[in-house]
Amino acid sequence: MKAPVFTHDYALRFPTLTAPSHGEEHPRPQLVVLNEALALELGLDPEWLASPAGIDFLLGHGDKPVAMAYAGHQFGQLSPVLGDGRALLLGEWHTPAGDVVDLHAKGIGRTPYSRPGSDGRGTLASMLREYLHSEYLHAVGAPTARSLAVIVTGIAIQRQGFGSVPVQPAAVGVRAAASHLRIGTVQFAAMHLGEHAVNDLLDYAAQRHYPDVAKEPHPQERRRELFRRVMETQADTVAKWMRLGFIHGVMNTDNTTLSGETIDFGPCAYAENFDLDTCYSSIDTGGRYAFGHQPDIVHWNLAQFAQAIVPSLGLDWAQEAVDSFPAIWARAHAAEQARALGVSPADTEILNGWDEVLSAQHPDLNSVHRALADADEGALRDLLQAPEWVAQWRGKATPPRNPRLIPRNLRVEEALQAATNGDLRKFNALSGALQQPFAEPDPIFLQPSGDGLAGYRTFCGT
């Protein structure tokens, strides 16, 4: 087994946006789950990753890991200095396909950016939650960071509010992402490093994620086009969330990527019944990031991005660009709803009727998507109580390819509770089903959570 060679281009190019750090010592590290399919896709050797040397590297004990600096609006309040308080960028990996991905470990202990009182650790349940949900999002085609591994550390930590298990095993989650550049990264540069650093960061983002944009020779137009692309990719991503019923749970600007990938969604869940007010995150006490607020929040976050780079864009242009987002969102939303229904985005009457029916009836989304895929008119009439709309839809639709299951919240909790107690059988079964979302699953995974979601809360493990 030969150790892979990682690069550290980001840390070398932006030393003022990183802080060298290492993972804490872990007394009894043990690999809980390794995503061998992802490892092979990336060109990494699963055998090496599972070896003592590989696990040591994944825990942040390599030669050049760094904590990344960023700022951010957290629940609407600006924090000028944040950063990886329990995570490390292990390095960049160049895949056989020619892509560059970040490898990033979370829960490794304290870093120079740790908040007062933080131990820098995370629970096994929170890391497994992110594994389940990120791999599901990938399987259904939503842009997302991917989960590579989860490792228990041999340390017990105490957290409030997780079922009946106040003392839990600590764990490290390792993910691969197109990058970890966030709106909050740019905000940090704008507040602390100046316009030159901001422009360097924007050009790096263009090179990394939008290489055609990077070829634009005029600096201001290059940065304007980058901003347009970020708006479009974020709109597309959130539209996919809304089609599926996914609730990110913590849509701060430091969790909004320039690549458009879903990232840092520790307290995520699903609105099993279509209800725009659904909110399960224990830290979102005001419902700021409720299911139906997500399009408005990503618009707000993009406005903060524009504000941070106004000197690079021009004030009037920036305002006009931000004001154009509702039209961008409408196109993305229509495209995803059309995909769910098997109709054209131009079928506005059907799409508008669909939005009205969902809001009026609050149907179970998983059941509705299955009925649409099966063209089951009887089931649709029962679920939607809208026979005229169903008849209109049937006259225009080609049965869509919808996922046949979503991560039912109580099934996820059962798997995480069992895993916390040392039994991975439910986790493995659920993980296997969620990674094949277009196959017919075991019926147990289709059972609605129903009244069991009364008082339901999700936790991010900090």
| Mean pLDDT over the full length of the chain | 96
- 83 in a known ligand binding site: yes
Q: Which member of 236, 254, 284, 364 is catalytic? A: 254
Q: What is the mean pLDDT of residues 347-375?
A: 97
Lowest mean per-residue pLDDT among 17-26, 316-325, 447-456? 447-456
Residue 381 banded pLDDT, cuts 50, 70, 90: very high
- 451 in a known ligand binding site: no
Predicted local confidence at residue 451, as pLDDT: 86
Predicted local confidence at residue 324, as pLDDT: 98
- 182 in a known ligand binding site: yes
Which residues fall within 8 angstroms of residue 280, CB to CB, at 6 or more apart?
247, 249, 267, 269, 409, 453, 456, 457, 458
Quote the tokens at residue 162.
């997780």
Predicted local confidence at residue 202, as pLDDT: 98
Which residues fall within 8 angstroms of residue 158, CB to CB, at 6 or more apart?
166, 167, 168
Quote the tokens at residue 12.
């070398």
Predicted local confidence at residue 449, as pLDDT: 92
Residue 143 banded pLDDT, cuts 50, 70, 90: very high
Predicted local confidence at residue 193, as pLDDT: 98
Neighbours of 127 (CB within 10 A): 29
Which residues fall within 8 angstroms of residue 443, CB to CB, at 6 or more apart?
none
- 161 in a known ligand binding site: no
- 215 in a known ligand binding site: no
Assign 161 to helix, strand or coil. coil
Paired with 449 in beta bridges are none
- 35 in a known ligand binding site: no
Pairing of strands 66-68, 18-20: antiparallel
- 119 in a known ligand binding site: yes
pLDDT in tens, 67-114: 999 999 999 999 999 999 999 999 999 999 999 999 999 999 999 999
Contact between residue 108 and residue 23 where contact means Cβ atoms under 8 Å apart: yes
- 120 in a known ligand binding site: yes
Q: What is the mean pLDDT of residues 386-391?
A: 97
H or E stretch covering 358: helix 348-361
Q: What is the mean pLDDT of residues 250-277?
A: 97
CA 302 to chain centre: 17
Measure the CA–CA gap between 324 and 307, rounded to whole angstroms. Answer: 15
- 9 in a known ligand binding site: no
- 222 in a known ligand binding site: no
Task: Return the closest-CA partner of residue 288 out of 300, 271, 273, 304.
Answer: 300
254 is catalytic: yes
Does the pLDDT at position 164 exceed 60?
Answer: no
Residue 1 banded pLDDT, cuts 50, 70, 90: confident
Measure the CA–CA gap between 104 and 60, rounded to whole angstroms. Answer: 9
Predicted local confidence at residue 366, as pLDDT: 97
Residue 165 banded pLDDT, cuts 50, 70, 90: low
Residue 198: C-alpha distances to residues 10, 193, 233, 279 (Å)? 14, 7, 20, 35
Q: What is the mean pLDDT of residues 40-68?
A: 97
Residue 160 banded pLDDT, cuts 50, 70, 90: low
Assign 173 to helix, strand or coil. strand
Q: What is the mean pLDDT of residues 291-319?
A: 98
